[in-house]
Structures are given as C-alpha cells and as structure tokens.
Chains A and B, each alone.
Chain A
C-alpha cells in the first residue's frame, strides 16, 4: 500500500489554495480538501446539466455563485473534461470578425483573466500574443477587416508586417522565398494560452464545494418531454426528474437534442491535434496560419502544441490519421524550418460541432425547460466562462441575456445568420 508520510500535527483538510497553505500542508501533511466528491444519483434535481466540460461546469458555477442555485447535477458519460475541454489546444483570443462575436469573446477573456482568483485555482493563463498569418493578399485583406472591427470594439488588434513578425517569432521563415511567403499577420497582443484541464478542475472544485453533484460515468440515454415541457433525463444509472435540462455537450450534441425532439443544424467533424517533446522556451506567441491549416504554441512545460483545421469529412471517429500528422509536420516546417529535429510525442482528435455560420447555438428551444449551449465548432473552450455566465442567467431569470441573444436557435429559421464564416477557415 502506498503510505504517504504522516504527521502528528493538524490533519484538518486544507481548503483554500495559497502559498501559505502550500507551506502549511507541506509541513503538516494535512490533506487537501477533495475537489471531486462522489454522490449517489438522486431522483430529482432542479437543474440537470448534460456535459461535464468547461461549459457545463462553468454554468453550474455561475448558477451557484451568481444566483444561489445549487440543486444541480452535472452529468458526464466519462470523466470531467474528457471531451473537447481536454482535447482543445487551449488558445484564448477575442479578435473575431463580427461585433457580436467580438463582444462575446471579449467578455470571456475578461472572465478568464480573473479566473484564477475567482476560482482560487491557478489556471495558468499566459498572455503570449496571437498572430494570424496572411500568405496572400486576400487573407491580408481579411486580417485588416478583422483588425478594423476589433479596434472599433476596443479590442487590441492590428496588422503587422514580416519584419515585426520576425521580431515576435525569430524562428519564423519570413523570407520572400518561402513557398507561401508571409505577407503580414493580424497581431492580437491579449491572446494567449491557458492550462485547459485546470479550468475544468477549478470550476469543478468550486461547484463541488457548493454542494452541486458532479456525476461522472453517467450517460444520458433519453430525455423525457411531456406537454412541450422537459421533465427529466434517463441515464445508465437511473432516471432523474428535472424542470430544467441543459445540453452542454460537444461532439454528440445533436444526438442529445434529438432525444428531446429538438433538431439542430449541426454537423460533427473530427479535429486533430498533436504535441511534441518538451524543449527550452523559444516560442512566445501563438501562431496561426489559416492557409496552411495549422496553429502552434509552446506550453509552459516546453511542449509545442499543434492543431489543424477540422477534417474534411464529417465523422464521430476520434482516431487520428497518418496523413494528418504528415501534413501538419510539413506545414509547421514551412513556417519554421529549423524545427525538423523536434519529435512529435502524442496526437489525438476531438469532435467539433459545426453550424452553418461558424457560430454557437445558445438559449431556449421549442421544448420548454430544455436549453442548449452547443455548436461550438473549434472555438468552444475560449467561450467557456462567458457561456456559463450567460446560460446561468438564463436558467435563473428565464430571460435570454443580451450578450447571447444573437446566437439563438431561431436564427436559422428567421434568416439572422452570424457573420463569422466570413473569415473562419481556421477558427483558432
């Protein structure tokens, strides 16, 4: 048996995370208060949230902290953060194309910047600067467009030239001889990366502490609707009655909504990502090239994280393909030829729910009490906090907050599509 050294001193669990308590715990060996507490699945909750990722857990957090609603169950068919929240490349930015998108993601960035203090959990947000490269005059024009929209919304964003890019990323081949020469980039200084798992765990710890039940390995297999109203869910561990059910899933969100009889214009595509061995820090900025379908950043641990655009064909498969990593490596070396000897260590895939206008679907559905926070494509992680805040407000007040109103399901039948598709061939 593994027996940690024990001490005769205080063994009261330590709740708050701080340098002082790290010292105290290190000396006394008192246990840390648990982050996740197992519970029996009750037969009824006021609110059932399907999906234990950043969206579901953030919603539970803001329901508890902003509205005092804690009779809530968060259900996940696997472990928390096992879906998109643990498979994305943890890039944060708010330099979107539409005013609605910019406003929304900027609020998310604001919440992220303060998240460590809010959750008393270091989520390791690192402001690194975010560069979206333009390899042709068409994409340079789009970068200018985004910069102008961003500036009007008060978001720090500008178009920079090859010399400036070289200064920010010395490893970048900014020569004119590259096969796809770099003409410029959209530079977004507030953009950065974060420890994605920590965000999930930080929210989970807070909601657990407030008495919310997180049920892992609990798969929803049916949703009960009576008289146009949701009445509960059926799971592999039993039935649960609830007046409000939120679909906060990704990958299978359209299948979950179908259980309540709600159709959504969502198509699911795999997106593949990979990570290298750690090396000493050499890349500060987050680099995105839409033309080359690649984005790159270096974590605090020294690994390079790569992501691609979504696969060309819809699928629920999360197995990577050889062609993907070959193409990815080729494109990374197009940008930074001196990385040839760096070794790739792991690759994986996540599922992206794409909507026709590259924007999420949030809010009410034709089924009363059945709410959705889905269609997150390749941009769900960066929207976690603001979505949670807004969805919690919707649950608590019954009114759709203005910041998410443009993203409602009805826009697809009322001819109000969002304009993010204009520039979203790679949305990271």
Chain B
C-alpha cells in the first residue's frame, strides 16, 4: 500500500518510520508506522471515508483526529466501536468499517438519504402506528438499522485490573497547564498523579510550532525528573465522587487489557484544556471538513497531509496556525475566510467527499475545509463536584464558577480562562502550589478573551454527527413544543451518542436558545455525568472477586461424590448419590451432616439476655447455664426473619445460631439494634460462623457414636434434650455440643474449632463404621425436617409471613414487655383470618405436588404448597402448605392445582409432623 498523503518528517511527529506495521482494512492489506493511529495510517494512504453515519448512512471522514472523532469508529477483531483516530496501530489488526453494507463505498442503507426529508425529528414516533399488528415487523427491520459494531459470543473476557492510589494532588490533564500545576505541587512537597488522555504529555503543544515544542520538551523533562509525580498516559479521569474519590480509566496498562485506577486525592486540579467545537452548515459532515485541531494533529503528529486544496473558515489563532501548518505541508490554500472580519460560511458540497465551499462572498473548489470557530469547556469533573458552569457570551464558551467549588478542587488552563502560554503556565503554577496546601492563596483569576459567538451558518447542517441530528431537527422539535433544552435533546437524541455531547452540547443549547428566543444562560447549562469517557464493562468489573466458601470437610466431600449445592457464598454437599438412603440411615442408625454454614454468633456480656429478649419472639431471661432454646426472630413488621437455637455456655456467654442464608443479615441486625438503639447494653458480638466446623450427628445410634469420641457425660439425665455442653471431641478441646433435633431424631450438633473439622468428621466415620454411620447432605436433611414438620424460614414462609402464620403460636410471648415486631403480632393475634402453616397429605399418597403448587377453592387462590417430598420413612408424600385460615382445620380436604394443570385432593393433617408427632425420638 502506498502512502501518497504521508509528509516528510515533521519536528513533532510521533510515528516511528523504522517500524512499519501491516494490518487489515476491510479485508485488504494496509500499512502504517508504529505510533500511527488506525486513522492516520489509513489517511496517509489516501483513505478519506472511515464509516457510514448512524441514520442516513452518509460517508464520514476525519473531523477531530482524536478520540472523540464521530466518523472514525471501527470494528477491530471482536472489539466493537474502537476509536480509530485514537487507537494506536498494532501489527495484524483486523480493522473493519461499521454501519456499511456491502461496502463503505456502496452502502445500500445510504438510500435513507433519499428520503431524509421524511426522516426528521420524531419520525419514528409519527409513523408505523397503524395497522398495529405490523409494528413488530417494522420494529425488527428498524433494529437492523441500528448502528455500532458487532458483539461476538465467543469474545474472551480478558484480564482487567484495579488499583487504589492515595495522593495529595491529582491533576486531570497533561497539557502545559496540567504539567505546570503538577510541577508546582510537587515542588511544594505534594505527591502528584498526573493523568493524560493522549499517549504523551503535552496537550496542544504537541502539535504546535518550534516555540511550543521547546516549551513542551522543557516541561516534559522536568516532569520526568520529578520523583513525586507519577504520570498515567492514555488515561482519563472518568468521574469525580464525594471527597475527591476519582476514577481514572487507564486504557494502556502493562500486563492487563485495561486498569481502573481509583484515587483518593486531597486536591483535584482540573486541567483538561478545551475541545474544539464544530460549525453547523449544510455539508458540514462531508469527508474533508475538519476542525483546525484535527488538521494540526494530522500534519504535526502523524505527518499526514489532510488534503490537496484547502479552504478555511476561521475565527481564532488556532485557525491561523492550522492554515500556516497547511502552507508548510504544501497544501494549496484556495481561500481563507476570516470570520473575525464578518465573512460567512454558507455551505459545502460534494459527493462522498468535499468538492466545493460557498462563502458569503465567493465559492471555491477544495477537498479540505478547515473550521476554527470556538471551544467547548469540558467542565465535567468540576460539574461532578456540584459546579454549574456559566456561559460567558463575550468569550462564547462556558466557564466553571470556580468560587462555588468545594474545597480541594481547582481549575486551570483553558478551562479557567485565556492568556499567553506563559500566563497560563503561571496560573497553573499558582494553582498547583495552592492545591498542594489546599488553599486558594496566590491564585488570581485568568481573563476571558473575547471570541466571536459562532455556532451555525445560514443553512441546515448536522448538529450531532453521531446521531445524524440536523439543525432542522432541532427547529422541528422546538416548533412542536419540545422547547426546553432537555426535552429537545431527548426528542432529537442530540448529544446522546458515543461522543457524549462533547462536540455537540454547546451548539445544541445555543441553537435551542436562538429558536426559543431565550438566552443561552437561560436555556440551560452543560451537564456532565460520569463517565466522562466511555469505559469498558471489563475495566469497571475488574477481576471477578466472588469468593467461594467451603467447609474444612470439603476434601472428603469431593472425594466421596458429593453433588455440590450453591447456597449463597457457600458451596456444600446436596447429597452423595442417594438422598433417600441417607434419610433411612438417619432414621434407622446414625448419619452425619456438615452444617458448617450455619450462622454462629458468639455473644458475651451481662446484657445478652436483654438482647435475646428484644430480638426473639420468645422469652430468654430464665435460660439456665447449659441450656439451649429455639428462637424465632421477626422484623418490625412481624414478618418471620430468621430462626435458630441459642445456648448459654456460661453466666455471660451465649452462642447463637442462625439459618445458613441469614448469617450475615442477622449479624447486621444484631449490631444495628445494639449500636443504634441500645448502645448502653454491654454485649460483645463476634461472628464465629467460619471459626467452627459444624457437624450434626443424628439418628437413634448417635449417642453411642458420640460416646466413643468424647469424655462429656452423655447420659440423658445429665445431658438432656435442648442442653449444651463444652468439652473434648475426638481429642479436640473447646468443642461445643448441643442436643437439638432438626431432623426429629436424637441428635448432637458439634461445633469444633475449624482447623479440626476434617479430623473430627473422619474420626466419626471411622469410629461409627460398625454402626453403619453415613454422611448425609442437604437434600436428606430437608426431607427429614419435612417429615418432622420443622419449618424453613424463607421456604415455608415468605416476605409477608408473620409469626402466627408460621406456626409459631407456641413460641410467641405477647406478655413480654417488648420485642421487635410485637405490635404487629399483637394485631395479628387478635385477628384470626391470617394464613396458617399446615401439613398436607395427598389423597393419593404416591402423588407429590411440586412445591409452589397452588391451592384453589372456588376459582380463588387460597394457599400454596411450600415444601413437598416423597417420604422414604412413610413411603408417601409429605407436604407443608400456607393455607387460608378457614380451610386450615385438620381433616379439611383441599384442591391442589399442579403445574401441569391437573387438580388433586389433599387433606389437612393434624399438626405439622408426619413422623413422630409426639417428639419421642429426639428426646430419648
């Protein structure tokens, strides 16, 4: 590939001509140099069109030659919407144009241009209304017209990273002002993070003349020599949050795809420079129409000739400099129209590229039109700190109202005002020094130089090139009554595209102001919300940090075929192959289950009983040492929130257990009550869920098994049901044993120091081999507890199940002075029309109605099956259900509608327990 537009070596060029790179462009071979952007390499080879536009599929070329160039968005491999005017060329890149089919040159959807006069603002809202049945078909066609690159289902997630930084001063923007501020802050003793969105420091100095390049070298050298300054290039501060919590997107980072740097800075210096604003006129989107800064970047950074014959429309020194650059680069200057002298730009014409430009006094042939009409102040970071930028009509741009900024935020450079390079550097130096001490000392405001207010010409052009919004669209919106800045933006989608309004917002506001006859200040301000620059989901997400919790017994589970069950943070055995056999083992002999995920809170202090009395619905003041009690907690609204057992280990020492899923929430709940309601109570709470490994040993032979591994006296008279002991288990000191019965069998729950969990587990299996001991999982436990009629909070209850609907009548003690949820429960207790938790036996004992089957009566839903299983013990189905009070009497037959549509009958049982209703087995 030849490079007809490549210029000879330029003093400030960033390309390395010794390193040529080959890449693919729409399937053809292309080449450039290291340091080229995708766009500059292609432009050097004479390419002028890089994409087709969003709505009309018009060919688009280079406008800004920087990140936010709306026409230079491409697909690179499996990455969509790559900013080709920013992304550096890499060997072997597969670059393809977006929005073009079959090719960039002949795009069939460009037919939209022919009917453009019918596709104005709000076009979608006004058509395809009837016949309504056809809208889905229209919609699927419209969706195919949507813009952007393509996702790939096989795309690898990639490695992303995060980093935390604490600095005295963060400087956002590495132009002359940013560098000067960073140097001054460092000189004053501050640590500094200097963030620059380009690949090199320097801002506009990079594409300046000899004097600028000399200043650039000097500042760069001093920054490089300053140890206290860390520089991040190709990085953008995307958001400023409370207390100068600043997110910096590092797009190039060693070893990872991208990195999100999160910085806490004492002071923030905002020095992003200014963004050049496009001019609105007919033909302003033709390839060949460029901003002066775009032209200067192409020539000076990439040694690319932007065109052969240029016209210019300029109103400031940046425009003069661009014209000078063009002359130097050997571009023929057809005409320079100086807007400062009142010359106007009428329109530009051409097909597929610029051909001719009409000014108010002449028409010239040209393939390049340079505009330099003014600036947009990217006040984003200041706005995010609460600043409301104000428009200065004399200077024709917005300025942050610095006086209103909270402490620790400073603006400098073009954002703050105008002046010579020396004056701006002087201001930035004063700002940097002040930022280092978080003062305002020595910072005099910069003047605002007059600038002509130029937003649009007399013809209809594109206000938003990303969204294909024209000035006529804005006029239509305002005429239709969408006459506020926000409404008009929403209606036309102006500023809603991938450049996030950076190029478009001021023109949009100015034109709405003009159309409504209001001033710009009255019409609105530029609002900037995070992220200031687009940021990948990968970078925001960083590495996945979703830790998994396994119990210490996991190696044994894995080795014995446990089927894993994901239970919140935990992964635990659901079963070991045959849950029914596991159930039978427990009912007939002995089984052990790993219940480590059960929440455990160690409570110590003289006021623990008060706390328990407040949070549980039942009474705790008389719980003796060595005793255990079941407790249920309700929230303020009386809804059952958690349950578990709590044992008193010593005078002022209790161990509370919670449900596995509720462990974190109960801890927060306990702390919340202690810290906000009863700070005067002496209670110390320590979550010990993972400090202990927990094993439930259940079955008629459990006492025999435990006796073989402990010296604790297990005789029923001494260690009865609902008692707790501490002692040695399998040689492990400080183990806790409590006699409880979730499965309905004689059982001991062991809490042993976590490191010994596997040892105790394996000891139990070895010692109990002759007793037929068997490990059982969560599924078997659920069946066992269902046979016994023990509820599971969250399964047999829901977000509105209050205490008396959970079968907790026996536990709720309304004669207590107070407890959380008492008023609601008093209320519920006085009424009798609330749903009840009941046991159900299906008339056909072999039918197991799936959980969530609805119970219906007379066409109304009157309840639902909350738990159901085939009982291996009884060889019939067992169910729990929530049921309307009027049908909850034992013996009542109800209709259960199965998910497959069948209706079956079931009978309300006497009590919840199907196995051992008298509770003899667990009390032996």
Contacts and interface: CB of A to CB of B under 8 A. Distances in A.
Does B associate with A? Answer: yes
Interface of A: 1-5, 17-19, 21-23, 25-27, 31-37, 78-82, 86, 99, 114, 116-117, 120-127, 135-138, 141-142, 144-145, 147-149, 151-152, 159, 170-171, 179-181, 195, 197-198, 201-202, 208, 216, 276-282, 300-302, 319-322, 325-326, 328-330, 332-334, 337-348, 356-358, 415, 417, 419, 421-424
Max count, chain A CB within 10 A of own CB: residue among B79, B142, B480: B480
Contacts of B542: 326, 330
Contact of A216 (B80, B147, B484): B484
A127 B132 CA distance: 13
B566 A181 contact: yes
Which 10 pairs show the lowest CB-CB distances between chains A and B? A36-B481, A340-B538, A302-B146, A329-B540, A144-B852, A421-B799, A343-B534, A278-B148, A26-B118, A422-B798
A33 B126 CA distance: 12
Given A22-B118, A32-B122, A344-B534, 19 more contacts: A2-B474, A2-B514, A4-B460, A17-B127, A22-B126, A26-B120, A34-B479, A117-B129, A122-B129, A145-B864, A149-B854, A152-B897, A181-B566, A322-B239, A333-B538, A339-B537, A343-B535, A358-B799, A421-B799
A318 B480 CA distance: 29
Interface in B104-126: 115, 117-118, 120, 122-126
A294 B379 CA distance: 31
Contacts of A19: 127-128
A358 B530 CA distance: 30
Contacts of A122: 124-129, 135
B800 A347 contact: no
A278 to B, nearest CB: 4
16 contacts: A18-B127, A36-B481, A36-B483, A121-B125, A144-B852, A144-B899, A202-B125, A280-B80, A280-B150, A322-B245, A325-B530, A330-B542, A338-B156, A340-B536, A346-B531, A421-B799
Contact of A342 (B151, B154, B897): B151
B844 interface: no
Contacts of B158: 340-341
Given A32-B480, A302-B147, A322 B530 contact: yes
Contacts of B156: 338, 340
Nearest to B159: A340
A322 B491 contact: no
B529 A86 contact: no
Nearest to A117: B132
Contacts of A21: 126
Given A149-B854, A344-B534, A80 B129 contact: no
A143 to B, nearest CB: 8
B260 interface: yes
A170 B720 CA distance: 57
A179 B567 CA distance: 11
A338 B152 CA distance: 7
A343 B81 contact: yes
Nearest to B500: A345
A149 B146 CA distance: 38
Contacts of B689: none
B650 interface: no
A345 B852 CA distance: 41
Given A2-B456, A37-B481, A330 B544 contact: yes
Contacts of B856: 152
Contacts of B118: 22-23, 25-26
Nearest to A114: B132
A346 B486 contact: no
Nearest to A338: B155
Given A171-B151, A282-B151, A344-B531, A32 B566 contact: no
Given A136-B568, A149-B854, A419-B798, A277 B540 contact: no
B482 A35 contact: yes
A155 to B, nearest CB: 13
B854 A148 contact: yes
B129 A346 contact: no
B262 interface: yes
A281 B144 contact: yes
Contacts of A35: 480-482
B566 A322 contact: no
Given A333-B541, A347-B530, A280 B864 contact: no
Interface string B251-273: 00000010010100000000000
Nearest to B473: A4
A342 B142 contact: no
B548 interface: yes
Max count, chain A CB within 10 A of own CB: residue among B124, B135, B151: B151
Contacts of A347: 529-531
Interface string B8-30: 00000000000000000000000
B157 A338 contact: yes
A415 B828 contact: yes
Contacts of B852: 141-142, 144-145, 147-148
Nearest to B160: A340
Contacts of B544: 179, 330, 333-334
A79 B482 CA distance: 10
Nearest to A204: B481
B795 A4 contact: no
B163 interface: no
Max count, chain B CB within 10 A of own CB: residue among A122, A321, A325, A340: A340
Contacts of B486: 78-79, 82
Contacts of B530: 320, 322, 325, 347
